[in-house]
Amino acid sequence: MKTLKSTLIISAMALFIAACGYKDNMKWPTATGVITGKGDNGRIGKGHTPHWDVKFKAQDGKEYTGEYQAETTFTTTDIGDSVTFHYDPKNPVHLIDEDTYKQMQSQN
């Protein structure tokens, strides 16, 4: 079941990124940011999805705050901790983890 859930999450993220204009030759930069807040989607139980608000500086030198879907990737992190991720250079508030990024690249 966990594999199916992971596959569905990756497929949903792939569709989301395709809708944002992701191309095979486009690379999302890597950045490291600081967790400034925590939240969730308001659901309880099966559909519960935690997220972090992450503040970081993009390649353009500007600071952004994006929402990073926690899932189970960084369950031990807390506010003030730093995380590394990829972001969409066209819309820097869209953040994804390294594993999801690699899996989406392999699907394209």
Between CA 73 and CA 107 the distance in angstroms is 20
Give me the chain's average pLDDT, please: 77
- Please name each of the domains of the chain with its CATH number: 2-107 (2.40.50)
pLDDT bin (cut points 50, 70, 90) of residue 86 is: very high
- Residues 10-27 have a mean pLDDT of 55
Neighbours of 71 (CB within 10 A): 16
Q: What is the pLDDT of residue 69?
A: 78
**Section 74-99 average pLDDT:** 86
pLDDT attached to residue 41: 76
Q: Is the pLDDT of residue 74 over 80?
A: no
Give the H or E element holding residue 17. Answer: helix 2-19
In Å, how far are 7, 11, 17, 18, 27 from 3, measured between CA atoms?
6, 12, 21, 22, 26
Q: Is the pLDDT of residue 19 over 70?
A: no
User: 8 or 75: which carries more pLDDT confidence?
Assistant: 75
Phi, psi of 14 (to 5 degrees): -65, -40
Instruction: With a cut of 60, say whether residue 37 has pLDDT above it.
Output: yes
pLDDT at 25: 45
Contact indicator for 58, 65 with CB cutoff of 8 Å: no
